[in-house]
C-alpha cells in the first residue's frame, strides 16, 4: 500500500470509535466521512485487511461498468452503453483506482449515477424521478467534495433546459427540482464542518499547472500509450463531426429526442464547467492539477468514445476497430507497462518487512514517516521501537556530536525521500558502520547500520582447501561491474543457488590470498529483474550485491576476487573464484 492507502487503513482501524474516525478525517483527509465510516464497519465484520479495503474499491469499479452502461443507454442508446462499458472495463486508470484503497471508484460510480438520475429526471419530470435524483446527488456529495462542481454543472444544465419548455412544465420542473435539491442538501449537511476546514486548507504539494498539464493528465488516463491515443483520436473526431452536422433544435421535444445534441450538451457542460472551475482554482489559488482530481471526467471520455463507436454504421468495421482498440489497451497495460509484473506503489510493506525479519535485538528504527511505517511495524502482531527523525542526516549528525549515541540502528524511508548523505556524514558512516542489510524498492528503502568494529573481517574457508575455481555447492553468478579508480575498488552483480528462493541467502564478496578469505564490505541489492530474466519460479530478488574496497586498507600483494554464498534455510554453501584480481 502507498501513503494514502495507509491513511485509509489507519483511520478505518476497527479499534477506532466512530468519533475517533470523524476526528481523524477532519485532521488528515480531504474527503467526506461516509467512505471511512462504511469501511470501518466492513473491517469490523470482514477483517482488518488491505484486501477488504481494496475489495470495496474493486466492487465499485465493477459497479461503475454497469452504471456507465445504463447512463450510455439513457443518454444515447443501448449500443453506446455497451461500448462505453467495454471501454471502461479495460480502462487502465479505472483498473488502477479499482485496486486502490481510496474513495475514487466510489466517486466514479457516484458521478455516473448522479448524471443518470439527472438525465432520467429531465426526460420525465415527476416526483419519483426527483426523489431518485436527489438521493443520488446527495450520496455523491458524501463521496467527494469535488461533487459540488459536478452538481453545479448539472444545475446549470437544468437551468438551461428551463428555457426550452413552456410555463406550466417550467413550474413543475422547478418544484421537483427544489425537492431534489432539498434531499441532496439534507444528505450533505453532516459534512458542512469538514467542508469548512477543507476550504481553509492551502495545499502546497501539487505542482503549479503548466501549459501541457491537461495533456499529461489525459495521457495518464489512457496509459501514456501513443497507439491508444492514435486509435482514440479518429473516434473522438468522428463523434464531433456527427454532432456538428446535427439539425437545429427549436423545441424541448427536438432537444430531448435529438440524441446527438442531447448527449453533446450533457457531456460538454459536464466537462466545461468542471475543467473551468479547476482551471481557475489552480491558477488563482491552489493547484488541483493531478489525475485523480479529474476522475469525474473519465466517464465523459468513455461515453464520447462509446457513442462514437456506436455511430459507425458498418458492423464489421465497428466490431473490428473496437476489438483492435481493446487489444492495444490490454497489451499496453500488461506487456508495455508490465502493470502486473512490477510494483507501481510505494513499497512500505517490503521496506518494513526487512526490519521485521532481521531485527532480533529490537534495535531502534528511525524514519521520517513514522505514522505510515507504524502500520507495519507497530500493530497487534509486531512491536518495534520506531523513532521519528526528519532524515538520515539528522541521525548521523547526532551521533557525530555525541559518540555515546553511536549504536547499531535501522533507517527506513519512502515517498520520494532518497537515501542521501552529505560528504562529512558519509565519511563518518564509512568509518563507523557497515550496512549488512538493505532494501531498495519502488519509492522505498531500508538500511541496517551495524558497527564496523563488530563485523568479522575474515571468513573460514578451510573446508574448501585446496581451492578450485568452484568450491562447495554450485551457484550461478555474474559480475556486471568492476572498476578500480584511485585505489577504490567497486564491484557489483548477482549470485543465487538454482532451484530455491534467494530470500534466505547471504552473499559476501571476498579477497583471496594464501588460502585465506577477507570480507569486502558488501551490500545486498534488490534485483527482481534477475527473477524475470531467467523466468524463475523462485524469488531471486535477494541475489544482487554491491561491494566497495579501499586498497589502502590492504597489505601489499595480489588478491583474487571470490563470491561466497550461504543459504541459511537449506544449508548450502559455495565459493566461486572469479577472474577479477586486485593488486596493491
Q: What is the pLDDT of residues 175-194, one digit of tens each?
A: 999 999 999 999 999 999 99
The grid cell for 166 is: 413552456
Determine contact, residues 446/524, Cβ cutoff 8 Å. no
SS3 537: coil
Tell which residue, 199, 192, 146, 197, has the closest CA to residue 24: 197
Output the CA–CA distances (angstroms, integers) from residue 31 to 5, 332, 522, 580, in the order listed. 13, 32, 46, 59
Tell me what pLDDT residue 555 has: 86
Q: Give the H or E element holding residue 413.
A: strand 409-414
pLDDT tens series, the chain, 584 aa:
999 999 999 999 999 999 999 999 999 899 999 999 999 999 999 999 999 999 999 999 999 999 999 999 999 999 999 999 999 999 999 999 999 999 999 999 999 999 999 999 999 999 999 999 999 999 999 999 999 999 999 999 999 888 878 888 889 999 999 999 999 999 999 999 999 988 877 766 788 888 888 889 988 998 888 899 999 999 999 999 999 988 776 666 666 678 898 999 999 999 999 999 999 999 988 888 999 999 999 999 999 999 999 999 999 999 999 999 999 999 999 999 889 888 889 999 999 999 999 999 999 999 999 999 999 999 999 999 999 999 999 999 999 999 999 999 999 999 999 888 999 998 899 889 988 888 888 999 999 999 988 888 889 999 999 999 999 999 999 999 999 888 888 999 999 999 998 888 889 999 999 999 998 888 888 888 898 889 898 989 889 998 888 888 788 999 999 999 999 889 999 999 999 999 88
Long-range contacts for 457-463 (Cβ within 8 Å, ≥24 apart)?
Answer: 457/518, 457/519, 458/516, 458/517, 458/518, 458/519, 459/508, 459/510, 459/517, 459/518, 459/519, 459/564, 460/517, 461/510, 461/512, 461/515, 461/516, 461/517, 461/564, 461/575, 462/515
CA–CA dist 196, 191 (Å, integer): 9
- Count the Cβ atoms, other than its own, within 10 Å of residue 68: 31
CA–CA dist 191, 33 (Å, integer): 7
**DSSP string spanning 549-570?**
EEGGGSPSSEEEEEEEEEETTT
SS3 434: strand
Tell which residue, 245, 265, 241, has the closest CA to residue 255: 265
Report the relative pairing of strands 521-525 and 458-459 from DSSP bridges.
Answer: unpaired
The grid cell for 308 is: 462514437
* Angular region, 512: left φ>0, alpha ψ -120 to 50, beta rest: beta
SS3 534: coil
* Cα 116 from chain centroid (whole Å): 30
Determine contact, residues 52/43, Cβ cutoff 8 Å. yes
CA–CA dist 239, 263 (Å, integer): 11
**Phi/psi of residue 560, nearest 5 degrees:** -90, 150
**Phi/psi of residue 474, nearest 5 degrees:** -70, 150
Determine contact, residues 580/560, Cβ cutoff 8 Å. yes
Query: Can you name the residues that pair with 563 across neighbouring β-strands?
Result: 509, 576
SS3 381: coil
SS3 220: helix
CA–CA dist 28, 412 (Å, integer): 23
The grid cell for 169 is: 412544465
CA–CA dist 75, 265 (Å, integer): 11
CA–CA dist 103, 40 (Å, integer): 13
The grid cell for 149 is: 462542481
Output the CA–CA distances (angstroms, integers) from residue 44 to 53, 260, 377, 447, in the order listed. 12, 48, 21, 35
E-strand ranges in 114-216 read none
CA–CA dist 154, 269 (Å, integer): 8
If you search the block for the grid coordinates 561491494, which residue do you land on? 547
> Hey, what CATH topology would domain 458-583 get?
Immunoglobulin-like (2.60.40)
The grid cell for 557 is: 600483494
Report the relative pairing of strands 458-459 and 433-441 from DSSP bridges.
Answer: unpaired
Tell me what pLDDT residue 36 has: 97
Report the relative pairing of strands 488-496 and 544-550 from DSSP bridges.
Answer: antiparallel
Query: Can you name the residues that pair with 411 across neighbouring β-strands?
Result: 366, 447
Tell me what pLDDT residue 334 has: 92
Sequence-distant (≥ 6) Cβ neighbours of residue 193 within 8 angstroms: 26
* Cα 44 from chain centroid (whole Å): 25
Determine contact, residues 388/343, Cβ cutoff 8 Å. no
**Phi/psi of residue 169, nearest 5 degrees:** -70, -30
Amino acid at each position: 500500500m502507498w501513503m494514502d492507502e495507509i491513511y485509509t487503513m489507519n483511520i478505518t482501524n476497527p479499534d477506532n470509535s466512530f468519533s475517533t474516525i470523524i476526528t481523524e478525517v477532519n485532521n488528515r483527509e480531504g474527503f467526506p466521512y461516509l467512505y471511512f465510516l462504511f469501511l470501518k464497519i466492513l473491517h469490523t465484520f470482514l477483517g482488518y485487511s488491505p484486501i477488504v479495503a481494496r475489495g470495496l474499491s474493486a466492487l465499485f469499479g465493477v459497479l461503475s461498468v454497469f452504471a456507465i452502461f445504463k447512463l450510455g443507454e439513457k443518454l444515447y442508446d443501448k449500443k453506446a452503453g455497451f461500448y462505453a462499458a467495454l471501454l471502461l472495463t479495460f480502462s487502465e486508470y479505472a483498473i488502477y483506482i479499482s485496486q486502490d484503497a481510496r474513495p475514487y471508484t466510489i466517486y466514479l460510480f457516484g458521478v455516473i449515477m448522479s448524471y443518470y438520475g439527472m438525465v432520467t429526471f429531465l426526460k420525465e419530470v415527476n416526483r419519483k424521478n426527483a426523489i431518485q435524483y436527489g438521493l443520488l446527488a446527495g450520496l455523491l456529495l458524501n463521496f467527494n467534495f469535488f461533487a459540488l462542481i459536478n452538481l453545479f454543472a448539472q444545475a446549470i444544465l437544468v437551468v438551461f433546459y428551463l428555457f426550452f419548455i413552456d410555463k406550466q412544465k417550467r413550474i413543475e420542473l422547478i418544484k421537483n427540482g427544489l425537492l431534489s435539491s432539498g434531499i441532496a442538501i439534507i444528505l450533505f449537511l453532516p459534512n458542512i464542518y469538514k467542508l469548512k476546514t477543507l476550504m481553509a486548507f492551502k495545499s502546497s504539494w501539487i505542482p503549479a499547472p503548466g501549459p501541457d498539464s491537461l495533456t499529461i493528465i489525459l495521457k495518464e488516463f489512457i496509459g501514456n500509450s501513443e497507439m491508444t491515443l492514435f486509435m482514440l483520436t479518429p473516434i473522438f473526431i468522428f463523434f464531433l463531426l456527427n454532432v456538428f452536422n446535427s439539425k437545429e433544435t427549436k423545441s424541448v421535444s427536438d432537444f430531448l429526442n435529438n440524441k446527438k445534441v442531447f448527449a453533446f450538451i450533457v457531456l460538454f457542460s459536464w466537462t466545461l464547467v468542471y475543467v473551468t472551475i479547476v482551471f481557475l482554482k489552480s491558477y488563482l489559488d491552489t493547484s488541483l492539477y493531478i489525475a485523480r482530481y479529474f476522475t469525474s471526467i473519465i466517464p465523459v471520455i468513455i461515453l464520447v468514445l462509446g457513442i462514437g463507436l456506436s455511430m459507425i454504421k458498418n458492423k464489421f468495421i465497428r466490431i473490428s476497430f473496437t476489438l483492435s482498440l481493446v487489444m492495444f489497451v490490454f497489451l499496453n497495460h500488461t506487456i508495455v507497462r508490465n502493470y502486473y509484473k512490477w510494483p507501481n506503489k510505494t513499497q512500505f510493506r517490503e521496506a518494513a518487512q526487512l526490519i521485521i525479519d532481521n531485527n532480533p535485538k529490537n534495535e531502534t528504527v528511525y524514519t521520517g514517516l513514522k505514522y505510515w511505517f507504524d502500520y507495519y511495524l507497530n500493530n497487534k502482531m509486531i512491536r518495534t521501537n520506531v523513532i521519528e527523525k526528519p532524515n538520515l542526516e539528522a541521525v548521523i549528525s547526532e551521533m557525530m556530536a555525541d559518540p555515546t549515541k553511536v549504536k547499531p540502528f535501522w533507517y527506513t524511508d519512502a515517498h520520494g525521500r532518497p537515501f542521501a548523505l552529505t560528504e562529512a556524514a558519509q565519511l563518518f558512516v564509512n568509518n563507523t558502520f557497515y550496512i549488512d542489510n538493505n532494501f531498495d524498492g519502488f519509492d522505498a528503502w531500508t538500511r541496517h547500520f551495524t558497527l564496523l568494529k563488530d563485523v568479522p573481517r575474515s571468513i573460514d574457508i578451510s573446508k574448501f582447501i585446496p581451492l578450485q575455481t568452484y568450491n562447495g555447492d554450485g551457484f550461478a553468478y555474474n559480475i556486471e561491474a568492476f572498476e578500480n579508480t584511485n585505489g577504490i575498488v567497486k564491484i557489483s552483480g548477482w549470485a543465487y543457488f538454482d532451484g530455491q528462493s534467494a530470500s534466505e541467502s547471504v552473499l559476501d564478496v571476498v579477497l583471496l590470498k594464501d588460502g585465506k578469505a577477507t570480507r569486502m564490505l558488501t551490500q545486498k541489492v534488490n534485483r527482481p529483474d534477475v527473477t524475470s530474466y531467467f523466468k524463475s519460479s523462485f524469488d531471486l530478488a535477494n541475489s544482487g550485491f554491491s561491494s566497495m574496497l579501499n586498497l589502502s586498507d590492504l597489505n601489499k600483494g595480489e588478491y583474487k576476487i571470490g563470491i561466497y554464498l550461504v543459504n541459511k534455510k537449506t544449508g548450502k554453501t559455495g565459493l566461486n573464484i572469479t577472474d577479477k584480481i586486485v593488486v596493491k
